[in-house]
Amino acid sequence: MSEEWRRLDPRTLLADAVVLCGVAGGAALPAVAGLSGGGSLGRAFAWVLSGVVLLVLLGTVGDWVRLRRTRYRVGPERVDLHTGLLLLKRRSLARERVRSVDLTANPLQRVLGVVKVRIGTGENTPGGESTLEFDLVARAEGERLRRELLGRAAVAGEPDRDGVLASLDPHWIRYAPVSFLAPALGAAAAGAVLQVSDWFGAQAEVVDWVGDRFRDTSLTWTVVDLVLLATVAGAVGALGLWVEMWWNYRLEREPGGTLRVRRGLFTARSVTLEERRLRGIELVEPLGVRLFGAARVDAVATGLAEHDEDKHGDLKNLLPAAPRERAEEVVALVLREPEPPTAAPLAAHPRAARVRRLRWAAWGVLVPVAVLAVLGPLLTPVLLYVAAGCALVLGPVAVLLALDAYRALGHGVSGGFLVARSGTVRRTTVALQRSGVIGWTVRQSYFQRRAGLLTLTATTAAGAGAYAVRDAGEGQGLVFAAEAVPGLLAPFLETPEARPTEG
């Protein structure tokens, strides 16, 4: 047990200085361009260079002070972190409350052999006060912290299936371009081209240039071509991002009951999760990925704070989109179940739920079409054609989605797990530990009351905090809830025999 105070790694200075140089250099280029407009290039360059040097020097000195004033200690019971020059911050975490230790290193930090360590307690307090961040320590030291803080004595008598649960199959990359990320990236690329050209005041030229390229084509084909171009760009971007995020991916179980996900090409990241915190698992099938028979696996765990500032922040992601059978294997391995609960047969919901979805689809199409049809005669007849087109195209799509949404609905109990599935654009199957359910919320809207349906929500300390069984039959849902978590709902149910009116 190390009890002495330790400092951050001095290589932090170098890492931060290089980043600062990059930032200052990036800002310097336009500044040189701007200043040289009036006078000589040499003088502008000298001014900007001295500014950059000053900035980097000041930043490094500041960083050095931070380094000198920061120290940490891993004691037998607490982890302490003291930091700050004027505003002294002394933070201390009880070691028994440490639930996760994440190591991150960007490419530069990897070259220098340092990592950023984030120690979490598993509480979602606002403001991130429950995490300690060691920015940066040597890689070996990071590994040591991780092992020491999470390497509790393995529970005796528990069969530990250690080792690799899943590792990357390069074939999975085929699911990257069909994710929702691809169109988003395509749109972002188009937006970026326009934005950057706007900075240089050349947006009009870019638009003209594109117009010139398509001089001989009709408007429709121009639009189709541009959309195709953006789609291809998006797909390429999605492939690149996938490689960056999932390279070297491994999901392992370590002695002492922790799961560890390692991944990343440039930015290596390692997420460690105590199995004690795991309350279940979520099998997520976004529409595009589902059409190709794939699914991804997310953990439902307490205290997995979403790090908003981190772009790679999907900490709960245990497996990227992979063939469904493989995903279910991983579910079974992670949960230590012989059969994956997410593959269990589920009870279907009443037909009234299907009627409801079809009605939503009808309204969703009819309202915009009606608005267009009313405005058409008033403004321009083109709107009438648009309305007809909308009805013809959107109508069948909406009906298909509604039917698919109904097919997705289901709930059931599989061993120690409660399973619920819903969604069409993003279908999720959640398997929640029955002992992890800490309350029920039953909701019934006026329309659900008329249709004899209700939405049952199991609240839990983990993940999203609540998982819903949508539009189950009234009796069906309540009986299911009472059976899934014995003793909780049953005292508040009444059966026909107990009801005086139906004696």
Partner 1 sequence: MTGEDAVRLRPPRNAVDERAVAWWRSRLLAATAVPVVVLAVLGAFLGPARTWLLLAAGAVAALGLVCTAFLPAWWFRVHRWEVTDEAVYTRTGALRQEWRIAPMSRIQTVDTVRGPLEQAFGLATVTVTTASSKGAIRIGGLDHEHAAELAERLTALTRATPGDAT
Binding interface with partner 1 (CB under 8 A): 124, 302, 436, 438-446, 449, 452, 457, 459-461, 464-466, 473-476, 478-479, 487-489, 491-496, 502
- Considering the complex, state which of residue 67 and residue 305 has its C-beta at the smaller distance from partner 1: 305
Sheet containing 417-422: which strands, arranged edge to edge?
317-323, 294-301, 278-286, 426-433, 417-422, 410-414
In the complex, minimum distance from the CB of residue 283 to partner 1, in angstroms, rounded to a whole number: 21
Distance CA 469, CA 360 (A): 18
Say which residues have a Cβ less than 8 Å from residue 123's Cβ, sequence separation at least 6.
97, 130, 303
- Considering the complex, state which of residue 211 and residue 465 has its C-beta at the smaller distance from partner 1: 465
Number of Cα atoms under 13 Å in the Cβ half of residue 457? 10
In the complex, minimum distance from the CB of residue 337 to partner 1, in angstroms, rounded to a whole number: 21
Distance CA 51, CA 30 (A): 14
Cis amide leading into 136 (omega within 30): yes
Distance CA 448, CA 473 (A): 9
In the complex, minimum distance from the CB of residue 360 to partner 1, in angstroms, rounded to a whole number: 16
In the complex, minimum distance from the CB of residue 439 to partner 1, in angstroms, rounded to a whole number: 4
- Considering the complex, state which of residue 341 and residue 350 has its C-beta at the smaller distance from partner 1: 350
Q: Which 3-state string (H, E, C) describes 285-298?
A: EEHHHHHCCEEEEE
In the complex, minimum distance from the CB of residue 502 to partner 1, in angstroms, rounded to a whole number: 8
- Considering the complex, state which of residue 262 and residue 276 has its C-beta at the smaller distance from partner 1: 276
Say which residues have a Cβ less than 8 Å from residue 192's Cβ, sequence separation at least 6.
none
- Which DSSP helix (H) or strand (E) runs through 133? strand 131-138
Distance CA 348, CA 476 (A): 10
- Considering the complex, state which of residue 139 and residue 354 has its C-beta at the smaller distance from partner 1: 354
- Considering the complex, state which of residue 232 and residue 438 has its C-beta at the smaller distance from partner 1: 438
Phi, psi of 467 (to 5 degrees): -130, 135
CB atoms within 10 A of CB 10: 12
Sign, CA dihedral 130-134-139-145, equals: negative
- Considering the complex, state which of residue 389 and residue 465 has its C-beta at the smaller distance from partner 1: 465
In the complex, minimum distance from the CB of residue 494 to partner 1, in angstroms, rounded to a whole number: 4
- Considering the complex, state which of residue 322 and residue 489 has its C-beta at the smaller distance from partner 1: 489
Q: Specify whether the CB–CB gap between 350 and 428 falls below 8 A.
A: no
- Considering the complex, state which of residue 413 and residue 438 has its C-beta at the smaller distance from partner 1: 438
Q: Specify whether the CB–CB gap between 423 and 408 falls below 8 A.
A: yes
- Considering the complex, state which of residue 104 and residue 433 has its C-beta at the smaller distance from partner 1: 433
In the complex, minimum distance from the CB of residue 351 to partner 1, in angstroms, rounded to a whole number: 13
In the complex, minimum distance from the CB of residue 422 to partner 1, in angstroms, rounded to a whole number: 17
Interhelix angle 382-408/351-378, rounded to 10 degrees, is 170
Amino acid at 108: L
In the complex, minimum distance from the CB of residue 60 to partner 1, in angstroms, rounded to a whole number: 41
Among candidates 365, 347, 363, which has minimal Cα distance to 471? 347
In the complex, minimum distance from the CB of residue 495 to partner 1, in angstroms, rounded to a whole number: 6
Residue 123, classified by CB atoms within 10 Å of its CB into exposed (0-12), middle (13-18) or buried (19+), is middle
